Amino acid sequence: MGIISWIVVGLLAGALAKLVLPGDNPGGIIVTAIIGMVGAVVGGFVFGIFGGTGATGFNVWSILVATVGAIVLLLIYRLIAERITNVLTSLHAGQRKPHIEISAAQLRNPLPTSQNSPSTHSGE
Q: Say if CB 11 and CB 28 are below 8 A apart.
A: no
In this predicted model, what pLDDT tens digit does every residue of 10-57 receive, in sequence order?
889 888 988 888 877 777 778 888 888 888 888 888 888 888 877 777
What band does 113 get if pLDDT is binned at 50, 70 and 90? low
pLDDT at 98: 53
- Rounded to whole angstroms, what are the CA distances from 40 to 28, 49, 107, 118? 18, 14, 61, 80
In this predicted model, what pLDDT tens digit does every residue of 93-107 receive, in sequence order?
665 555 566 666 666
Q: Is the pLDDT of residue 120 over 80?
A: no
For residue 26, give the nearest of 83, 70, 65 by alpha carbon: 70
Determine the Cα–Cα distance for residues 85 and 124; give it in Å rounded to an integer: 68
